[in-house]
Amino acid sequence: MSGSCASSTRIAAIDDEHDPEGSSTAFERAHVAALLAQTRDHLADLDRALERLERGDYGRCEGCGEPIPAERLEVRPAASTCVRCAAARPR
């Protein structure tokens, strides 16, 4: 009996691509990878904002040179453009 139990454990460990309770392991891994990529991008944006702060450019739009409203910077501290220039930028 104990050999049968060990065998079923090995089979369960091999078949990790589908969880009968929900989404596949591959989907979950892809989701976590996407979250990590977003976090890395956000950290890079914050690093660039710190560089602008050190240069004295923080809070100025990189597109038009006008001040970025404080409300936008409060919501998006790493913003490098005003709302108008951000909306005009192709996605």
Q: Give the per-residue pLDDT at 77.
A: 95
Q: Give the per-residue pLDDT at 19.
A: 54
Picking from 74, 75, 2, 67, the residue whose alpha carbon sits closest to that of residue 85 is: 67
CB of 43 closer than 8 Å to CB of 35: no
Main-chain phi, psi angles of 79, to 5 degrees: -60, 135
Please indicate whether residue 2 or residue 79 has the higher confidence score (pLDDT). 79
Joined tokens for residue 80? 């490098």
What does the pLDDT look like over 8-49, one tens digit per residue? 555 554 555 555 666 688 889 999 999 999 999 999 999 999
What does the pLDDT look like over 39-78, one tens digit per residue? 999 999 999 999 999 999 999 999 999 999 999 999 999 9
Q: Where are the beta strands (DSSP E) in the chain?
A: none
